[in-house]
Amino acid sequence: MELTFTLICSLLALGFALRLAQWVLKHDDGTPEMRTISDAIREGAEAFLLRQYKTIALLTLPVAFVIFALYAYFRPPTSHDPLSQPWQLASHAAGSFIFGAICSGIAGYVGMFVSIRTNIRTASAARTNLNRGLQIALRGGAVSGLFVVAMSLLGVGGLFTLLSAFGIAAEKIPFLIVGYGFGASFVALFAQLGGGIYTKAADVGADLVGKVEAGIPEDDPRNPAVIADLVGDNVGDCAGRGADLFESTAAENIGAMILGVALYPYFGLQGVLFPLVVRAFGLLASIAGVMVVRTTEEGDPMQALNRGYYLTTVLTAIGFGIGCYWLLTSPQAPEAWWHFWLCGLVGLAAAMAFVYITQYYTEYKYRPVRSIATASQTGAATNIITGFAVGLECTAVPVLVIAVAILTSYYLGQHSGVAGAGLFGTAVATMGMLGTAAYVLAMDTFGPIADNAGGIIEMSRQSEAVRLKTDRLDAVGNTTKALTKGYAIGSAALASFLLFSAYLDEVRNYGTPLVAVDIAKPEVFIGGLAGAMLVFLFAALAITAVGKAAHYVIQEVRRQFHERPGILAGTEQPSYRQCVDIVTAGALKQMVLPGVVIVGMPIAVGLVFKGLGIGAEAVAGLLMVGTIAGILLATTLNNSGGAWDNAKKYIETGAYGGKGSEAHIAAVVGDTVGDPFKDTAGPSLHVVIKLLSTITLVLAPFFL
């Protein structure tokens, strides 16, 4: 019944996504000139994704093989193994890893597929009707949002059904499909990292040679890197974030189901399936939210999007109430349902708080961005110093929100009448936070679509009035992109806490009496130190990778300008494709090192400390402290980047001399510095946080 409900809702959401896609596609796709540009973007994006997936496949298969071999030959048996034969367990682990990887890849592909077709239609509609432009962009984004969340439900629910059909006891299934989460995060990491490097290498490269050296405006068609820059929005923001949030919801589903197993005496199977059901309610709520968004020519598109978000939140809250009342009642714990409902509301409130905090720190209405703009008057150095300080400062309130959310939901769970349900309470809060995921992802994908639409309008030299319209959409898109990052990091923080306990459960399954992760032990302290260091090192490598890839772009653009002077004169067409090829190769080459480091390090620490007899606990230290450091560093990088970006935009509205002033030149430096922070290292760290959890979960048996 619960499973059926989930499957029906997921299929409904998929069908609805299909309808939305049809609706988007039937819109006008503009002038031939616009189509030429859009086609170039599409080709570039598809070519990148194709080559990226080949690279990822080359990395995934060996890992799958290693997992199979480890589970088949080196895994210590437990007294309550769900399957008797090691090779059966091994095939399940490796199989669900590959399945998760494929699903994650599809999620990314769909995000990109829709956005490269929606951008031109948004541009075309915006020429006459702002509301239509807004709706096309949002509904295009919703295709990917609904698809990603529905697929994560179908994946987990489908695996569940499949394994039940094979006669495996339902409460043992979650432990079998942890590989699914690892597969999803493994692919999400490389998708986000490769896409993030691509988008910022192209952006930084295009800006440095175009704006700074040649003095031509942004998105000018004479710049050979301009198409690569637009491609980057699709492969970095759409494909990357799609894979990221797919992974979040999948990992969180599994983690919550594992916790639900512990409540079997109270709720039976219903507790295990509860996460799927409330997620299904969230899908329905998101559909309603997307459909109510409309604006007028003079209206504020951001307000329209916010209205949709509020409606989604309210409906999800109601859905949570229904889900809790339906599934989490038990004669032994009659009060439990409303306690868990409150946990869900805590999560929804935390999501909203994250959205507001991010707005405060990255919008130019407020003090932080204004202070960066003021500091730009005394040059680039003070702009950078102030922006970085804002980035560090803005970790404070989110941490308080996380603290309050975890503690409140933990205590609600503890007092629900269900013994030992504290962690399940935090799990329900996490579900609440991720309840609106489909809508938030739609808002997020809106960003690059609007950005691309603006680029297409600019490159096809449309009138100033049209540009103003797409600029308004683009500005809103920048905000929604920033909000999603705040949301993603908040949900990663909550979800990680959930996955910690899954890790500890898994370790205990093997009979290891791991009662505590005692960070006062030197080995655990060092594990923690290594985890935090890993996060810093990863960020360094990701940022360096952008610099290296951008260098290829800079050289190529310079070469084209130098060898064919007609380009700058406007008499000759630059070779966009060559630039796209170069960024593609560069980004894929550069994503390997940071990815391998982040996957290899937890394994190395685990094996070293295994030798010292304390592997599982030291790895737990690495996982938890690494997560803390990741949350803080990602928040710092995301928000400082967003704040620099908007400080520049604020000056462009005319403050401190406006465009071209000394302050503006300084602010452009800050904006460029922030690019790899906010679009490469920061978002990749979201995935890293979850990857640390899923990789340690899958490899836990080998650290004992």
Task: State the nearest-atom distance from the C-beta of 105 to its own copies, in Å.
Answer: 29
Task: State the nearest-atom distance from the C-beta of 530 to its own copies, in Å.
Answer: 6
From the list 307, 675, 351, the residue with the least C-alpha distance to 484 is 351
From the list 497, 442, 507, 518, the residue with the least C-alpha distance to 242 is 442
Q: 581-607 b/e with 16+ CB inside 10 Å = b? A: bbbbebbbbbbbebbeebbebbbebbe
Question: CA-to-CA distance for 131 and 298, rounded, in angstroms?
Answer: 10
Task: State the nearest-atom distance from the C-beta of 632 to its own copies, in Å.
Answer: 5
Q: Which is nearer to its own copies, 565 or 613 (CB)?
A: 613
Q: Which residues contact 338 (CB under 8 A, 6 or more apart)?
A: 324
Question: CA-to-CA distance for 188 and 598, rounded, in angstroms?
Answer: 13
Task: State the nearest-atom distance from the C-beta of 660 to its own copies, in Å.
Answer: 17
Task: State the nearest-atom distance from the C-beta of 379 to its own copies, in Å.
Answer: 6
Task: State the nearest-atom distance from the C-beta of 235 to its own copies, in Å.
Answer: 21
290 to 10, 154, 283, 527: CA distances (angstroms): 16, 21, 11, 44
CB 294 within 8 A of CB 133: no
From the list 481, 508, 464, 473, the residue with the least C-alpha distance to 620 is 508
Task: State the nearest-atom distance from the C-beta of 480 to its own copies, in Å.
Answer: 25
Query: Under DSSP, is residue 217 helix (H, G, I), strand (E, B) or coil?
Result: coil
Q: Which is nearer to its own copies, 515 or 569 (CB)?
A: 515
Q: Which residues contact 448 (CB under 8 A, 6 or more apart)?
A: 115, 119, 233, 234, 236, 237, 238, 477, 481
Question: CA-to-CA distance for 475 and 405, rounded, in angstroms?
Answer: 31
Q: Which is nearer to its own copies, 223 or 436 (CB)?
A: 223
Q: Which is nearer to its own copies, 62 or 215 (CB)?
A: 215
Q: Compute the CA torsion angle 295, 301, 307, 313 (nearest 10 deg).
A: 140
Query: Under DSSP, is residue 420 helix (H, G, I), strand (E, B) or coil?
Result: coil
Q: Which is nearer to its own copies, 381 or 468 (CB)?
A: 381
Task: State the nearest-atom distance from the C-beta of 601 to its own copies, in Å.
Answer: 10
From the list 516, 501, 704, the residue with the least C-alpha distance to 616 is 704
Q: Which is nearer to its own copies, 522 or 566 (CB)?
A: 522
Task: State the nearest-atom distance from the C-beta of 546 to its own copies, in Å.
Answer: 7
Question: CA-to-CA distance for 105 and 12, rounded, in angstroms?
Answer: 22
Task: State the nearest-atom distance from the C-beta of 583 to its own copies, in Å.
Answer: 16
Tokens at 130, concatenated: 């702002």
Task: State the nearest-atom distance from the C-beta of 382 to its own copies, in Å.
Answer: 6
Task: State the nearest-atom distance from the C-beta of 403 to its own copies, in Å.
Answer: 4
Radius of gyration for the chain, computed over Cα atoms and rounded to the nearest angstrom: 24
Q: Which is nearer to its own copies, 27 or 686 (CB)?
A: 686
430 to 187, 229, 271, 274, 442: CA distances (angstroms): 22, 35, 15, 13, 19
Q: Which is nearer to its own copies, 261 or 554 (CB)?
A: 554
Question: CA-to-CA distance for 496 and 49, rounded, in angstroms?
Answer: 28
Name the phi and psi angles at 594, rounded to 5: -60, -40
From the list 403, 113, 419, 93, the residue with the least C-alpha distance to 242 is 113
Tokens at 197, concatenated: 């490097």
Q: Which is nearer to its own copies, 453 or 554 (CB)?
A: 554
Q: Which is nearer to its own copies, 183 or 422 (CB)?
A: 422
Q: Which is nearer to its own copies, 166 or 536 (CB)?
A: 536
Beta-strand runs (E) in 197-299:
none
Q: Which is nearer to its own copies, 269 or 389 (CB)?
A: 389
Task: State the nearest-atom distance from the C-beta of 683 to its own copies, in Å.
Answer: 16
Beta bridge partners of 330: 333
Q: Which is nearer to its own copies, 190 or 497 (CB)?
A: 497
Q: Which residues contact 304 (CB under 8 A, 6 or more apart)?
A: 134, 293, 294, 295
Task: State the nearest-atom distance from the C-beta of 479 to its own copies, in Å.
Answer: 23
Other CB atoms within 10 A of residue 377 CB? 17
Task: State the nearest-atom distance from the C-beta of 410 to its own copies, in Å.
Answer: 5
Q: Which is nearer to its own copies, 40 or 406 (CB)?
A: 406
CB 159 within 8 A of CB 250: no
Q: DSSP code of 520?
A: T
Q: Which is nearer to its own copies, 164 or 378 (CB)?
A: 378
Question: CA-to-CA distance for 513 and 518, rounded, in angstroms?
Answer: 13
